[in-house]
């Protein structure tokens, strides 16, 4: 995939408030077609919630946005910058790992299983990327980290190790860690699926708080109530395509497609 | 259990009614517990203790051990010097072997088929050659390559030296041990790296942490948990393995011991000298390993277990507290100076 020529002529920076632009994205794992032409637009400051049955490709879509997965066709841009490729004339050149890593510092990613670094304290988890990737002075990074921990309600856990925290606390640390890079967009991959039911609320509250302050977010989740309350746009995916999207009132209360109705009737 | 009271449960045998009394029907907590008797276990334990006692008695009384000779030599200058050489060989081969091994491990894990094949081949070859054979090869390096130099590959050489002058006997031994050790270290490090959960690398990549930093700061510290127990084995094996360099007439512990007993014929006590030193050094390494492992276990447990030292201190503190409690009414505070 060194020369991707598909849809190059459309790959131009968008200046109309679009933060994330996903265009005709295909992704295969061997013979399995996981994404079969996904289009998605997220405006700055908006919250997009992606719903869909497991295997519908929603996690894979999220992972292509920060280039954890390479796309096979199509392209993705964030704030007008192509992800994973550099355009030169009529060709797309694959970016070097170093440049992909730099692009990822603009994209916060929160994993289902938190993936905190267990051998580092909470504070060190938060300052690792700002210090090593953005070359922030350690002092400054620590100040930011403390402020963020306070924001997620964990100011007293600065020196704890991740395994000394509950799942909900770990996920809040993971959110703070993603925020420490001051990303342009935050991606959440089923952030509450690994949590005990009584811990889901504290994590959703943090995400809601971020939504109120205008953070651009894409959230893959099974929490329909959360989608209804927070989302500007709800996207329903099935079998590798976006089946329908729109405001929560439209998609959740009067879905147009049979597949959306079938899914919602099972989870509501 | 509403009917039971603090006094004898209803229907329970009153004390002193004899062994024929029916089993108590009430609260089992009030009954006497008879522990299981492990007669066979006790007999086996006693037999083993007798055997050990016999052996220790033999050590002390059998004149062939010649403890006087042992005492004369164990701290003699020659032996202490030889121990130092053994330690140097171990240290060099450990540090260089694991450095090279780590590089090889990452080459093997590399996505480049050339690099990973080269690393695989290295490991294959150096694990196939017995260390002693390899050492003798290095000892005879100058027969193979008379001069070593830098230049353009397959082209002119700009600078060269005589192999023997740059690689002495000791150098040859260190190279031999290092290359051998690196092959094993590579597999140990690779095992540790692939044991690190995949999500850790993904998280590091998602945060944009530079590649080398990911390895040094995220992967290796976590891999250490899996690496250290095996690496400890390897280093201890290496410490004892240095004894094979006696074939190169290097004055390490085993070689010097052989030289001395070749001269005076006191084989057994001198082998004891070597044994004692190897045991002491291995013990020190084992203690070091315990603390290094503990350091890398940070964050792995919610509450790390106390070290033996902390446990001992805690034990002494409890003893003191118990003693103080017992003596409290007896010891009145004596004014200073009274004791004179």
CA distance A62 to chain B (A): 12
- Give me the mean pLDDT over the A135-153 stretch: 95
Of B210, B221, B298, Cβ closest to residue A132: B210
Q: What is the pTM of this model?
A: 0.79
- pLDDT tens figures, B31-89: 888 889 999 999 999 999 999 999 999 988 888 888 999 999 999 999 999 999 999 99
- Give me the mean pLDDT over the A124-143 stretch: 96
- pLDDT tens figures, B127-174: 999 999 988 888 887 677 777 777 777 777 777 777 666 677 888 899
The neighbour count for residue B69, using CB atoms within 10 Å, is 18
CA distance A223 to chain B (A): 23
- Here the tokens at position B25 are 């029907």
Write the DSSP assignment of chain A as a string of letters.
-----TTGGG-----SSEEEEEEEEEEEETTEEEEEEEEEEEETT-EEEEE--TTSSHHHHHHHHTTSS--SEEEEEETTEESSEEEETTEEEEPPHHHHHHHHTTEEEE-TT----TTS-HHHHHHHHHHHTS---HHHHHHHHHHHHHHTT-GGGTT--GGGS-HHHHHHHHHHHHHTT--SEEEEESTTTTS-HHHHHHHHHHHHHHHHTT--EEEE-S-HHHHHHH-SEEEEEETTEEEEEE-HIIIIIS-SSHHHHHHHHHH-
Residue in A with minimal Cα distance to B209: A133
Interface contact B296-A119, CB threshold 8 A: yes
Question: In angstroms, how far is the first alpha carbon of chain B from the final one?
Answer: 65
A interface with B, Cβ–Cβ below 8 Å: 66, 68, 97-98, 101-105, 107, 109, 111, 113, 115-121, 128-129, 132-133, 161-164, 177-178, 181
- pLDDT tens figures, A196-225: 999 999 999 999 999 998 899 999 999 999
Interface contact A119-B300, CB threshold 8 A: yes
Task: Report d(CA A244, CA A255) in Å as an integer.
Answer: 8
What is the phi/psi pair of residue A18, to 5°? -80, 125
- Touching check for B210 and chain A: CB below 8 Å? yes
Contact assessment for residue A185 and residue A19, using Cβ atoms and an 8 Å cutoff: yes
All residues at 6 or more sequence positions from B314 whose CB lies less than 8 Å from its CB, including other chains: B306
Of B209, B301, B302, Cβ closest to residue A132: B209
The mean predicted confidence, pLDDT, of chain B is 85
ipTM: 0.89
Write the DSSP assignment of B17-52 as a string of letters.
S-TTSPPP-S-GGGSPP-PPP-HHHHHHHHHHHHHH
SS3 track for A46-67: CEEEEECCCCCCHHHHHHHHCC
Task: Report d(CA B25, CA B29) in Å as an integer.
Answer: 11
Residue in A with minimal Cα distance to B224: A119
Of A102, A111, A119, Cβ closest to residue B208: A102
- pLDDT tens figures, A13-53: 445 689 999 999 999 999 999 999 999 999 999 999 999 99
Q: Helix B113-128 to helix B77-109 angle, to the nearest 10 degrees?
A: 150
pLDDT, residue B329, reads 56
Contact assessment for residue A244 and residue A251, using Cβ atoms and an 8 Å cutoff: yes
Residues forming beta bridges with residue A85, ordered by sequence position: A94
What is the phi/psi pair of residue B137, to 5°? -55, -50
Among residues B235, B243, B129, which one has the least CA distance to residue B185?
B235
Question: In angstroms, how far is the first alpha carbon of chain A from the final one?
Answer: 42
Q: In a 10 Å sphere around its CB, with 0-12 CB exposed, 13-18 middle and 19+ buried, how is residue B249 labelled?
A: exposed
- Give me the mean pLDDT over the B16-39 stretch: 71
- pLDDT tens figures, A163-180: 999 999 999 999 999 999
Of A105, A109, A115, Cβ closest to residue B200: A115
């Amino acid at each position: 995939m060194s020369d991707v020529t598909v849809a190059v002529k459309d790959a131009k920076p968008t200046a109309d408030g679009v933060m994330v632009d996903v265009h005709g994205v295909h992704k295969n794992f061997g013979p399995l077609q996981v994404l079969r032409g996904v289009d998605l637009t997220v405006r700055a400051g908006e919250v997009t919630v992606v719903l869909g049955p497991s295997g519908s490709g929603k996690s894979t879509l999220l992972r292509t946005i920060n280039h954890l997965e390479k796309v096979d066709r199509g392209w993705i841009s964030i704030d007008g910058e192509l992800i994973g490729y550099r355009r030169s004339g009529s060709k797309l050149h694959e970016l070097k790992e170093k440049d992909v890593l730099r692009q990822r510092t603009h994209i916060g990613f929160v994993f289902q299983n938190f993936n905190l670094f267990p051998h580092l304290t909470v504070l060190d988890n938060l300052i690792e990327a700002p210090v090593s990737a953005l070359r922030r002075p350690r002092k400054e990074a620590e100040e930011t980290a403390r402020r963020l921990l306070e924001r997620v309600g964990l100011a007293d856990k600065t020196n704890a190790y991740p395994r000394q925290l509950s799942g909900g606390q770990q996920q809040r640390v993971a959110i703070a860690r993603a925020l420490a890079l001051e990303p342009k967009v935050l991606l959440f991959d089923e952030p509450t699926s690994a949590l005990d039911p009584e811990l889901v609320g504290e994590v959703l509250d943090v995400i809601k708080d971020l939504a109120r302050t205008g953070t651009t977010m894409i959230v893959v989740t099974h929490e329909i109530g959360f989608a209804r309350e927070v989302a500007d746009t709800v996207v329903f995916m099935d079998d590798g395509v976006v089946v329908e999207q729109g405001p929560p009132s439209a998609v959740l209360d009067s879905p147009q497609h049979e597949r959306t109705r079938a899914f919602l009737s099972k989870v509501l | 259990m509403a009917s039971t009271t603090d006094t004898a449960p209803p229907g329970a045998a009153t004390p002193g009614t004899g062994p024929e009394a029916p089993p108590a029907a009430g609260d089992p907590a009030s009954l006497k517990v008879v522990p299981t008797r492990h007669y066979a276990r006790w007999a086996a334990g006693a037999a083993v203790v007798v055997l050990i006692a016999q052996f220790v008695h033999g050590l002390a009384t059998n004149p062939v051990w010649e403890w006087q000779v042992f005492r004369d030599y164990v701290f003699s200058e020659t032996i202490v010097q030889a121990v130092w050489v053994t330690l140097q060989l171990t240290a060099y081969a450990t540090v260089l072997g694991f450095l090279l091994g780590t590089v090889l491990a990452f080459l093997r894990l590399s996505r480049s088929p050339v690099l990973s094949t080269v690393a695989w081949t290295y490991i294959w070859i150096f694990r196939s050659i017995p260390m002693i054979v390899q050492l003798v090869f290095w000892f005879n390096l100058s027969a193979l390559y008379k001069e070593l130099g830098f230049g353009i590959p397959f082209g002119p050489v700009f600078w060269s030296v005589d192999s023997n002058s740059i690689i002495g006997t000791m150098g040859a031994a260190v190279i031999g041990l290092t290359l051998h050790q690196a092959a094993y270290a590579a597999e140990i490090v690779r095992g540790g790296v692939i044991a690190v959960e995949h999500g850790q690398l993904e998280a590091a990549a998602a945060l944009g942490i530079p590649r080398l930093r990911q390895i040094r700061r995220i992967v290796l510290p976590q891999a250490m948990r899996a690496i250290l127990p095996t690496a400890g084995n390897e280093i201890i094996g290496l410490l004892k393995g240095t004894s094979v360099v006696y074939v190169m007439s290097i004055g390490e512990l085993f070689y010097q011991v052989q030289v001395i007993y070749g001269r005076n014929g006191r084989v057994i006590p001198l082998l004891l000298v070597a044994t004692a030193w190897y045991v002491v050094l291995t013990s020190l390494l084992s203690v070091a390993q315990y603390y290094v492992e503990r350091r890398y276990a940070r964050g792995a447990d919610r509450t790390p277990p106390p070290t033996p030292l902390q446990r001992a201190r805690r034990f002494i503190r409890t003893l003191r507290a118990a003693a103080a409690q017992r003596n409290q009414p007896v010891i009145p505070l004596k004014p200073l100076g009274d004791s004179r």
